[in-house]
Structure 1
Amino acid sequence: MRKPLSVLLLNWRDMNHPEAGGSEKYLSEVATGLAGRGHRVTVRTAAYPGALPRETVDGVRYLRRGGRYGVYLRSLAALALGRHRADVVVDVQNGVPFLSPLVRSGSPVVNLVHHVHREQWGVVFGPTVARAGWFLESKVAPRVYGHSRYVAVSESTRDELGGLGVEPSRVTVIHNGTDAVADEHVSRADHPVVVVLGRLVPQKRVEIAMQAVRELAVDRPDLELWVVGSGYWDTELHRVADELGIRDRTTFTGHVSEAEKHRLLAEAWVLALPSLKEGWGLVVVEAGVHGTPTVAFADVGGLNDSVRDGETGVLVHGGPREFTAALGALLDDAAARSAMSERVVQWVTRFRWSETVSRWESLLYAAAAPELDPPSEPDQVADSETDH
């Protein structure tokens, strides 16, 4: 039996952060799964209002230091000062890399990338910051991680990394999973309902779905839109709903529980996902559990892997006009929706968190192999590091 690993995961947010999304869900499932198998797992992440600087949840130890940007410097400093002893360090590169290989900590580093942010920098930031961010992601990071293993959550992300000079042989694809099961007591709504689920931020482009609903409602007076999730763009989306005249047919649920999220996905007719970029699109699989097909754009990365065009959903080639047409066609075609519903349920059964964790465990053992003799000591963090 192999001895347990000591694993340090670096991510800018944890699952309970107000801005957490699918990437945080992914890391949470991996961390909890590894801890459940006896590994010593520490997640180092940013502090936020109401969060404890230290806590252990489901066997995973969380250390929260620094803010949105300070978390990167604080993490590097902790590694440089020897505050962590780990068999493997996992950097989660959400656009901005942690650059752990710059610190000679003695631990091998694995870089987890959900997707490349080329298109998103200019949407979220001004031109100067966008250029700097893209330079850091596309030029600096590939050099710093030049001898590290990578994990991508989709084949599309692996290909994008190849475009940045990362050899495909160093990239392992480990998909998202799901443990959700359909509730036989929840029925599909008796009128057309489109659901949008995710963080309410500009790059999710919820406005495209809202515009589509306005146009489609002309011939479908009972059409509803459910916007599920929270984020700083919420106020702007309320303004857009008023401006489009669809406030009376749009429900903003805010943040909801897991149970409520799945109920809404099960009742909706179609999931609209007009996002600018997705590494995988966890919500596609979550909706698929309930037989709810997805309409999304074809040029957004990992959705080409999580959605099977024409079988489990529709991938739109074009812009908002084509998105509206595709959404309307699917809402009107009960036979097509029914067929997609059956196929998507079968499709998503292959994606399970247990398999995700197993693949991560194997990869981490392979990455740590040179470091496992002599046995490593448990993670250690200096007691003096109490400020956040």
Structure 2
Amino acid sequence: MTRSSGRHVLFLSWRDLRHPEGGGSELYLERVAAELITQGHRVTLFCQAYAGASKVETRPDGLRIVRRGGRHTVYLFAALLYLAGALGFGPLDRRAPGRPDVIVDVCNGMPFLSRCYARCRVIALVHHVHREQWSCVFGPTMARLGWWIESRLAIRVYRRCPYVAVSESTRRELIELGVDPERITVVYNGTPPVDGAPVARTAHPSLVVLGRLVPHKRVELALRATALLAVELPGLELVVAGQGWWDAPLRRLAADLGIEDRVRFAGFVSESDKHELLSRSWLSLVPSLKEGWGLTIVEAGVRGTPSIAFRSAGGVVEAVVDGRTGTLVDDEFEFFRSVRALLLDQEARDRMGKAAVRHAERFTWPAAGAAFAGVVTGRGPATTPHLANQRVP
């Protein structure tokens, strides 16, 4: 696609990847944006401002980022600035490339409702439905309001818009809420290729949890499993890599469980440190209540590290091929038993790790970008192959 034929795509997202609470959703957005740019599209990301970040930034790959508002006001700023032309698409910014041809409204529970004011094509991007998370984070009143906005109001507002879901699980949940199946395209996450020399596993049993430290990630389950297994496996270590506002309660729980010497809170880790952790660890634990996909699962898979996750947690059922690349469980007791069983069975870990590498290789960012571009241009398929139950060779 030549640059002259490319669209101007505006992503509306409450965060960008460099935000202190940025995670898998933001990584997906920026990697897809990068792929769109390589295909000749122009891409702008609008998101909330935060300390230390510039209001307008243009990345080396061409991605233009505009930051305004805060955690909640970013939604209002998006509407007002779009209508006023001050987002960089009108007379208030002469350097701007023109109004967008397509808006991608990233619906992380709370949508931007851009269909109400935008005069261009709008695509709703949904990582997962937040049915369980609302009550996990908010009180009863706010939880009911948030769920009504997500499950009723947003479905009504975007009723004629195309949707992108990041997993077949999310697609099914959207259909249950009333979205027309023909309007939903599944575009899976990609997986970065292995980079750097191999890193040996730790000599001692080791576990890793990777992700934002928020209640619905349920890192507590990994801490409690570590406490129970520490008696049987005195060398056991758990690394919790990530940052978030739930950090202090998790540290207090580790102290209450008497496992401060067995748990390392690594905080934010760089890409190279992350992949070293995934390479060195015996198992990756994903106790999250809900995930749209499970990016850390396939990232661990690239490094030959099996994962244990919950069957009810949405897209993880596609990221993990149960019994082959890792294990899916139904409750905390089964989670503990599966962690113990795999820590004590090197042959099973090795077999699953090799299968996890093959499974992860199926997902690439160029493929994701090509599929997303098909939705942007209106030429993409309404469905993509369901990979979860395909046989891993």
TM range (shorter): over 0.9
Name the residue aligned to 2:92: none
Name the residue aligned to 1:361: 373
Corresponding position: 1:206 with 2:209: no
Deviation at 1:182, TM superposition (A): 5.5
How far apart, CA to CA, are the structure 2 residues paired with 1:153 and 1:147?
A: 19
Name the residue aligned to 2:348: 336
Query: TM-score scaled by structure 2?
Result: 0.91
- Runs of 4 or more off by more than 4 Å in structure 1? none
Which protein has greater RCO, CA pairs closer than 8 Å, 6+ apart?
A: 1
How far apart, CA to CA, are the structure 1 residues paired with 2:240 and 2:211?
A: 8
Counterparts in 2 of 1:105-254, with a 5 A limit? Answer: 105-181=118-194, 183-254=196-267
Corresponding position: 1:350 with 2:353: no
Deviation at 1:161, TM superposition (A): 0.3
Name the residue aligned to 1:295: 308
Identity, in percent, stands at 52
Residue identity opposite 1:267 in structure 2: R
Deviation at 1:82, TM superposition (A): 4.3
Name the residue aligned to 1:326: 338
Corresponding position: 1:272 with 2:285: yes
The 10-residue stretch of structure 1 (1-10 or 242-251) with the greater mean CA deviation from structure 2:
1-10
Query: TM-score scaled by structure 1?
Result: 0.92
**3-state DSSP of counterpart to 2:274:** helix
Residue identity opposite 2:217 in structure 1: K
Name the residue aligned to 1:48: 50
Name the residue aligned to 1:8: 10
Deviation at 1:367, TM superposition (A): 7.2
Gaps of at least 5 residues in structure 1 are: 369-388
* 1:26/1:176 contact within 8 Å kept: yes
How far apart, CA to CA, are the structure 2 residues paired with 1:367 and 1:73?
A: 32
Deviation at 1:356, TM superposition (A): 0.7
Name the residue aligned to 1:22: 24
Which digits, 9 at most, give the CA deviation of each residue in 1:175-199, with x for residues without a partner? 0012230544311111110100000
Name the residue aligned to 2:295: 282
Which digits, 9 at most, give the CA deviation of each residue in 1:157-180, with x for residues without a partner? 000001100011110000001223
Residue identity opposite 1:139 in structure 2: R
* 1:88/1:367 contact within 8 Å kept: no
Residue identity opposite 2:19 in structure 1: H
Which digits, 9 at most, give the CA deviation of each residue in 1:59-97, with x for residues without a partner? 011000110111101111223334531110000000001
How far apart, CA to CA, are the structure 1 residues paired with 2:148 and 2:81?
A: 25
How far apart, CA to CA, are the structure 2 residues paired with 1:99 and 1:190?
A: 52
Name the residue aligned to 1:385: none
Name the residue aligned to 1:378: none
The 10-residue stretch of structure 1 (70-79 or 32-41) with the greater mean CA deviation from structure 2:
32-41
* 1:154/1:174 contact within 8 Å kept: yes
Which digits, 9 at most, give the CA deviation of each residue in 1:197-252, with x for residues without a partner? 00011110000000001101111111110000111111111111100000001111
Which digits, 9 at most, give the CA deviation of each residue in 1:41-74, with x for residues without a partner? 1000000011100010120110001101111011
CA RMSD of aligned residues (A): 1.3
**3-state DSSP of counterpart to 1:109:** strand
Corresponding position: 1:311 with 2:324: yes
The 10-residue stretch of structure 1 (272-281 or 28-37) with the greater mean CA deviation from structure 2:
28-37
